Amino acid sequence: MAGRGFYRRKRKKSLSRLYLLIVLILGFVVFKWGFSALIEIIAKTGGGDQKVMELGDVVAPQTPVISGLPEATNSAEIKIEGYTEAGVEVEYFINNRRVITEQTNEDGFYQTVLSLDEGENEIKIIAKDEAENESISKPVKVIYDFKAPKILLSSPTNGQEFFGQQEQVITVSGEVSESEADLRINNTYVRLDGNGSFSLRVSLNEGENEIKLVATDKAGNLTEETIKVSYVR
């Protein structure tokens, strides 16, 4: 027990000497260079908070998210909406061209209507806060196409006549100008090959038969073509 008491007294005495030494050093600094030097020393040794204040806001806004857009459209205008951080500036870009700048609402929601260029449009959003921190959305591509696909029917021809059992089933064939278009012949889906070519076997009823072809592209443009053929047993 006596040993422990001696150790505590010795430690207390050492701390007292250390505190006295610190006070003497600080007093010398104030006497020699003034309070400004003392403040500078404190700032350099324990001024972490000050550095944070000088740096300010260095966090970029939440990356903007663009709500689902169609792959293609036949409308010259498109509504763009999505969300990012609340109360920040959002810049709308089409093909790397800034179109308009707006502000998000208190929920971080943004919405506007943009005019599209003919063909492919790469759309992206840049969110920017007051400290000029930026974040960029993932680009989304939308094709503006207002031209309807063309149907070139090779056979049969309009008004053509077929006779006998061997000609009751005919082949309807031709090409569509857009190979990715949806083609229906008398409401039956017909697959196009890589060149837009098609072929479908159609059974005729006795008398006049109507053959209707409807081609619709990804943008929603539609072309219809109807011919009539006759069949006699």
Pair 199, 174 in one domain: yes
Pair 174, 129 in one domain: no
How many other CB atoms are found less than 10 A from the CB of residue 226? 11
136 Cβ partners below 8 Å, 6+ apart?
63, 64, 124, 125, 126, 127
pLDDT tens profile 85-138:
999 999 999 999 999 999 999 999 999 999 999 999 999 999 999 999 999 999
Q: Does 60 reside within a domain?
A: no
Q: What would the mean pLDDT of 54-63 be, rounded to a whole number?
A: 78
DSSP strands (E only) in 109-163 = 109-115, 119-128, 134-136, 140-144, 151-155, 161-163
Pair 69, 132 in one domain: yes
- Assess whether pLDDT exceeds 50 at residue 6: no
3-state secondary structure of 59: coil
Q: What is the C-alpha to C-alpha distance for residues 130 and 95, in angstroms, rounded to an integer?
A: 25
The pLDDT score that the predictor gives to residue 220 is: 96
Pair 184, 220 in one domain: yes
Pair 130, 202 in one domain: no
> Is the pTM higher than 0.75?
no
118 Cβ partners below 8 Å, 6+ apart?
144, 145, 146
The pLDDT score that the predictor gives to residue 13 is: 53
Q: What would the mean pLDDT of 198-215 be, rounded to a whole number?
A: 97
Pair 177, 227 in one domain: yes
Pair 96, 124 in one domain: yes
Pair 173, 112 in one domain: no
The pLDDT score that the predictor gives to residue 154 is: 96
pLDDT tens profile 134-173:
999 999 999 999 999 999 999 999 999 999 999 999 999 9
Q: Print the domain residue range for 42.
A: 2-55
The pLDDT score that the predictor gives to residue 58 is: 81
Give rounded-to-5 percent helix, strand, coil for the chain: 25, 45, 35
How many other CB atoms are found less than 10 A from the CB of residue 140? 18
Q: Does 50 reside within a domain?
A: yes
Pair 162, 228 in one domain: yes
Pair 137, 116 in one domain: yes
7 Cβ partners below 8 Å, 6+ apart?
none
Q: What is the mean pLDDT of the chain?
A: 86
Pair 182, 217 in one domain: yes
By the 10 Å C-beta count (0-12 exposed, 13-18 middle, 19+ buried), 178 is classed as: buried
| Domains of the chain: total | 3
Pair 71, 121 in one domain: yes
Q: What are phi and psi of 133, to 5 degrees?
A: -75, 140
